[in-house]
Structure 1
Amino acid sequence: MQFGPQTGTAPFALSVLADGGTGVGTTAEEGLAGTVALARTADRRGFHRFWMSEHHAMGATSVSSPPLMIARLIAETARIRLGAGGVMLPNHAPLLIAEQFGMLDALAPGRIDLGLGRAPGTDGATASALRRGADANDGFPQQVVELLGFLTDKFPPGHPYRTVRAVPGPWQAAQNRVPAPLTGPDIWMLGSSPYSARLAAQLGRPYAFALQFGDADIDTALRLYRDEFQPSDVLTEPRTLVSVPVAISDDPTEAKRQTTTSAMAMLRMFKREGYLLLPPDEVEAYAATAQEQEILDAYVSRNYHGTAATVADRLEALHERTDVDEVMLVVGGHSSALDGDGIELIADHYDLPRT
């Protein structure tokens, strides 16, 4: 399987997901600038793709709209694939997402990814403000099918949206008597459960498993995906990606300190105090209860933190266990500078090309 220009020694393709960017003491403008800088570094260092997640009403995140950020990053990068990892489809009308990502592919043909998830990406009250009903997840498979129909301009006879067109797209090209686009956004199904694995297999789409969310059962999900995979017109065999949280530094202690900030953010979210990336010193000074410390320790241990060599050893052990095609490094601690330095270090370790 071909993954683009990466030519290093890693037994898997390497990519980056920016999850955060606005630590306490950082303005939104600085957070967004940090994401732009991170994308430039990933592009220059030969990573395969750069994704961003959709989050709402979270103090630690700047990217509430991945499509808007992708549009900016198209002009800031040269070859790396850019995408949403992901768009939470029940928050949106499928036609709108088809139009947005059709535009992005027209701006950067063959470089756009669209990862689809069903979680709200926020708390319950904010989900309600997004006009997301309590039963929003129930219609997710149908929403995905609608989105695919809009992107390809292919609905079965009698479908209520058969005459509705997403522009840009194949219909517009036909109307204007020009060749149909040769590319389109690469659609990925995202998740951390058997449900998402089975849906990806049924649709014959690539599957991205989010290992950064707790004790998710990746082994069962990947087995179901591979066993139940049905070839489609875009994919003849299973394609898998796993995303893992990382903090990489020449100083292992500093890497662990970075990890504690994201662990504390998760604890705060569980306590409904808001997802914030506090400075490491403030996290260290926090007087955690025994139960809170257990949660913090669990998230720190799940994070692949340390030197590039240490992190690479864990990545390769994960690959040996799962045989995934691609590993996506999830960065998003308090220090965006450490995030950028970290992906440089892992790129050096695997001898990724400089461009």
Structure 2
Amino acid sequence: MSAPFSPSTKGTAPVPLSVLDLATVGEGTSAADALHTAVTLAVQAETRGYHRFWAAEHHAMPEVASSSPAVLLAHVAARTRTIRLGSGGVMLPNHTPLIVAEQFGTLHALAPGRVDLGLGRAPGTNAATASALRRNLPRSGGAADFPEQVEELMAFLTGQFPAGHPYTEVHAIPGPVQSRLPGGVSATGGPTPWLLGSSGFSARLAARLGLPFAFAHHFAPQHTTSAVRLYREQFRASAVLDRPYVMIGVQAFAAEDEKEAYHQVLTGVISMMRTQRGQSALMPTSEEAAHHVFSPAEEEFVQGWMASVEYGTPDVVRDGLARLAERTRANELLITTYAHGRTERLRSFDLIADAYGMPS
């Protein structure tokens, strides 16, 4: 299997552990604080032996500052040396494939051999904002267009459009065409494409294209088993990947005190409830979460959401992650902490690394 899938993790983790960050903005903090925390987390993750640091694309959400993954990742690339960096993901219908190929080609030129390009088909926002993002795009951005967009993007990444394609002479730069020019020099390879998904649609597409697949177990746990099975059953080897590779996205939070872990996770749950009601606001503090009075409908939402979150003391979280990896036969786990506390979130990743005996 190629280098992008060879873990650098040392220690007792049964599968590589990676980080997904949303640059969450909590009450009493700013977007600048959240972005600086994301960079700090990436540096810390590299030091502790996490395999990847991914940033997510979201829009029009005051509690999430990661609207421009490529910009954030460029900042992180300048402050790290070995950890793989990527998008989790770029919401491709919001962009033209050429723009994405150029952005991530630039990242690859800056950090050769360690850039991932995770692609999703959801807008990462509400309908009005999605319309504003896509107003000048030639496609509708619907599910029927997504496979075509992915294939066009991959052609820009490789410089290999089929004969007669209208973009045969269009090149993403920085990109593969530079290595074929007289005297041209470029970094070998390019960004590694991934497909993200929360259902069977992306699982089937990832399998057909022979791409690694990252499944969003943290918000679609009811589909995890079926989607992963579908991907493995239908997988076709490609130039990117010779056999299936599954990374499972999971929300986890570790603290010395189980109650503190619960209240930190609860800040994210409350934020998610508000977002779904169209009431986006900065993420509440753990103190506010601890004193929130939930309606019966909210209680049901909390119980359903928390059922797929691994939280508690470090050993409890480690055991929960191990069970998830074993149940799904995951090749890798992508851990996210959707919570308020900056210090507590950074500490959580340290505690998880400690529980696995990863480098310190």
Letter in 1 for 2:37: G
| SS of residue paired to 1:278 | coil
- What's the offset of the Cα at 1:123? 0.8
- What's the offset of the Cα at 1:176? 4.5
Q: Does 1:98 align with 2:101?
A: yes
| SS of residue paired to 1:297 | helix
Q: Is the 8 A contact 2:192 2:240 kept in 1?
A: no
Letter in 1 for 2:358: L
Q: Is the 8 A contact 1:187 1:206 kept in 2?
A: yes
The residue aligned with 2:70 is: 67
Greater length-normalized contact order (CA 8 Å, ≥ 6 residues apart)? 1
CA distance in 2, matches of 1:86, 1:170: 22
CA distance in 1, matches of 2:327, 2:192: 26
The residue aligned with 1:145 is: 151
Percent identity, aligned pairs only, is: 45
The residue aligned with 1:113 is: 116
Letter in 2 for 1:49: R
- What's the offset of the Cα at 1:177? 2.3
The residue aligned with 2:257 is: 251
Could you tell me which runs of 5 or more consecutive residues in structure 2 were left unpaired when the two chains were aligned. none
TM-score by length of 2: 0.95
Give the alignment partner of residue 10 of structure 1, picking from 1, 9, 13.
13
The residue aligned with 2:358 is: 352
Q: Deviations over 1:313-346 (max 9, x none)?
A: 1111111111110001112200121111011111
Q: Aligned runs of 1:173-192 on 2, under 5 Å?
A: 173-179=179-185, 181-192=187-198
Q: Is the 8 A contact 1:20 1:333 kept in 2?
A: no
| SS of residue paired to 1:115 | strand
Could you tell me which runs of 5 or more consecutive residues in structure 1 were left unpaired when the two chains were aligned. none
Letter in 2 for 1:298: G
CA distance in 1, matches of 2:36, 2:188: 32
Further displaced range: 314-323 or 90-99? 314-323
Letter in 2 for 1:218: T
Q: Aligned runs of 1:124-273 on 2, under 5 Å?
A: 124-131=127-134, 135-179=141-185, 181-273=187-279
Q: Does 1:53 align with 2:56?
A: yes
Q: Structure 1's 28 and 176: CA in aligned 2 closer, same or farther, altered over 3 A?
A: farther
The residue aligned with 2:43 is: 40
- What's the offset of the Cα at 1:11? 1.0
Further displaced range: 164-173 or 190-199? 164-173
The residue aligned with 1:23 is: 26
CA distance in 2, matches of 1:134, 1:174: 35
CA distance in 2, matches of 1:135, 1:38: 33
Letter in 2 for 1:234: V
Q: How many residues align?
A: 354
CA distance in 1, matches of 2:338, 2:46: 18
| SS of residue paired to 2:307 | helix
Q: Structure 1's 78 and 181: CA in aligned 2 closer, same or farther, altered over 3 A?
A: closer
- What's the offset of the Cα at 1:138? 2.2
| SS of residue paired to 1:136 | coil
